[in-house]
Amino acid sequence: MPQYFAMVALGGALGAMARYALSIWLAPLSENLAWGTLAANLLGSFLAGMILAWLQERHMAVEVRLLFQTGLLGALTTFSTFAAETLVLFLQHKPWAGLTQWALNVVGTMIAVFLGFLITRAVLGLQ
């Protein structure tokens, strides 16, 4: 069991460093858009799709899955987890569940960010 935590920690460290590197590397592209975040989300989602495809046909050791899927992709982006879980619903022929999950995550997270922003500004007494 301790080796599982070690694999998640190692993958998480690599994913966090990759996210930071992408943000720094792509920051000069625009002052308005977070290209590093978009790149991390797209890359993480693409890699999550690769892992899902692999797991449908082949075995992957638990430690390897924890390193890449939970650790690396988890730190790189949680959006990849959302995207992979939504794809699984579509692959299971549950399109309404997939669309519902997609809508709730996209709209829900935007609302949550907005509410967190407003509440924090109110608590801090900011205009």
Can you tell me the distance from the alpha carbon of 20 to that of 24, in angstroms, rounded to the nearest whole number?
Answer: 6
Q: Read off the pLDDT of residues 81-95 as tens digits, 9 standing for 90 and up.
A: 889 889 999 999 999
Q: Read off the pLDDT of residues 16-60 as tens digits, 9 standing for 90 and up.
A: 999 999 999 999 998 877 898 889 988 998 998 888 888 878 888
Q: Is 77 annotated as a binding residue?
A: yes
Q: Is 86 annotated as a binding residue?
A: no
Please give the model's pTM, rounded to 2 decimal places: 0.74
Helices 79-91 and 95-123 cross at an angle (nearest 10°) of: 160
